[in-house]
Chain A
Amino acid sequence: MNVGEILEVFLAFLRFGVLSFGGGMANLPEMARVIIGNGWVTRQEFADGFALGQFVPGPNMLAVLFYGLSAAGLGGALAAALGMFLPGAVGAMWLVWGWAWMSKARWSRALRKALVPISMGLSASMVLVLVQLSVDTLFWGLGVLVACYLIYRGLGVVWVIAGGGLLGLLLGLTTG
């Protein structure tokens, strides 16, 4: 474990954290490019870390612990989480006091409105990169669509995620 490495991880994830508008994982495409490019994870590991993030309670962005751990050990994991969650949390706490001032300002209303479609564009980019990284067969391409349909129709998210894992397990058993 070396301090320079951990600091590098912290700064990288702090940047992702500051820029993660629109639900948190919108910066996933850039995160994938940077940390795969740095050699911190392989493409497969990036996709697997994302999938593991679905199993834990809380935001699925906790996957950054996986990436930090791979980059620089336990210290790297904590540095990644700190960098990722700190900017939003500090902003949220500041709002307790800055709220009254902010809601009156015209720029903040314009900003709030503008961020809605922008975050849709970010989400679409995120879906694209995730499909490129982790969907490599037609079977799972269809799986994505079925999962989307089921969740859209109101089936519980937990069931669909568990179902996907089970289906993968069965597929592995039959083909392996």
Chain B
Amino acid sequence: MKVPRSRLFLAFLQVGLVAFGGGGQAQIYQSIVLKHRWMEEREFLETTALCRVLPGPVFANTAAHIGARLGGVLGGVLALLGVLAPGATLMLLLSFAYFRFGAVPGSLAESALNGVAAAAIGLILATMLHQAPIALDSLKAVGLALVVFVTYGLLHWPLLLVLLLTVPVGMGLYWQEAAENSAHPRASQGMEADERG
């Protein structure tokens, strides 16, 4: 299906304006699948699962992917700009204000930001708790996660080194399972409202 690029851009711009609090993925779903009917449900879930594997936020990746699918490379670029522009503009304004007026330690702004940071860390923890039963479903999965945490989180090895060591080992561990024909990506992982980052 092909969609005019201007309509594509506007749809994603609207999503970018309201994607507060990590609801971005759900907003794309609402707009593209339910409202505009540019994609089918199953296609969307598979897209999300694939975009999760890529580096970068799933939200931005999904926008770029759907944009490119519906409007070519230019469509992908426009969709990405659309979802990022509102947040980026606001972020720049906030940053200018921060560096202009400063947030002195002990000031009100600093205190409020401490509270926001605590809540945001709680959000990451809660997301991990939700995912843990599925993500850490076997001994090898727990082991792999632990090795990453110890080398990267505790010992501060460079991320590139950690990934170069653990990704091939991990692929080796899952090589057997990957042979079984599971052609359908896990749809259940596709749509979590707490998608963040």
Known: A120-B132, A121-B146. A54 touches B115 (CB 8 A): no
Interface residues on B, range: 35 or more
Kindly identify, within residues 143 to 197 of chain B, every residue whose CB is under 8 Å from any CB belonging to chain A.
144-149, 152-154, 156, 158-160, 163, 166-167, 170-175, 177-179, 182-183, 185, 194-197
Known: A121-B152, A134-B121, A171-B111. A95 touches B116 (CB 8 A): no
B32, CB-defined interface residue at 8 Å:
no
Chain A interface helix/strand/loop/mixed: helix
Indicate if the CB atoms of A176 and B106 lie closer than 8 Å.
yes
Q: How many A-B residue pairs have CB under 8 A?
A: 392
Kindly identify, within residues 25 to 65 of chain A, every residue whose CB is under 8 Å from any CB belonging to chain B.
25, 27, 29-30, 33, 44, 47-63, 65
Minimal Cβ-Cβ distance residue in B for A65: B91
Interface size on A, residues (CB 8 A): 105
Minimal Cβ-Cβ distance residue in B for A15: B160
Indicate if the CB atoms of B111 and A27 lie closer than 8 Å.
no
In the bound complex, residues from chain A placing their C-beta under 8 Å from that of B124 are 25, 123, 126-127, 130
Kindly identify, within residues 130 to 176 of chain A, every residue whose CB is under 8 Å from any CB belonging to chain B.
130-131, 134-135, 140, 143-152, 156-158, 160-161, 163-169, 171-173, 175-176
B52, B106, B122: the one within 8 Å of A147 (CB):
B122
Complex CA gap A150/B152 in Å reads 29
B76, B98, B119: the one within 8 Å of A163 (CB):
B119
- B residues engaging A (CB < 8 A)? 16-24, 49-62, 64-65, 67-69, 73, 76, 80, 83-84, 86-88, 90-92, 94-96, 98-99, 103, 105-108, 110-132, 134-136, 140-142, 144-149, 152-154, 156, 158-160, 163, 166-167, 170-175, 177-179, 182-183, 185, 194-197
Of all A-B residue pairs in the complex, the 3 with the closest CB atoms, nearest first, are A88-B56, A147-B122, A121-B148
The 27 listed contacts between A and B (C-beta, < 8 Å) are A19-B159, A47-B117, A55-B90, A56-B94, A57-B20, A58-B60, A60-B196, A70-B99, A77-B95, A85-B56, A91-B61, A92-B68, A93-B73, A107-B178, A114-B173, A114-B174, A120-B128, A120-B135, A120-B136, A124-B153, A131-B121, A140-B115, A140-B118, A143-B118, A169-B115, A172-B108, A172-B110
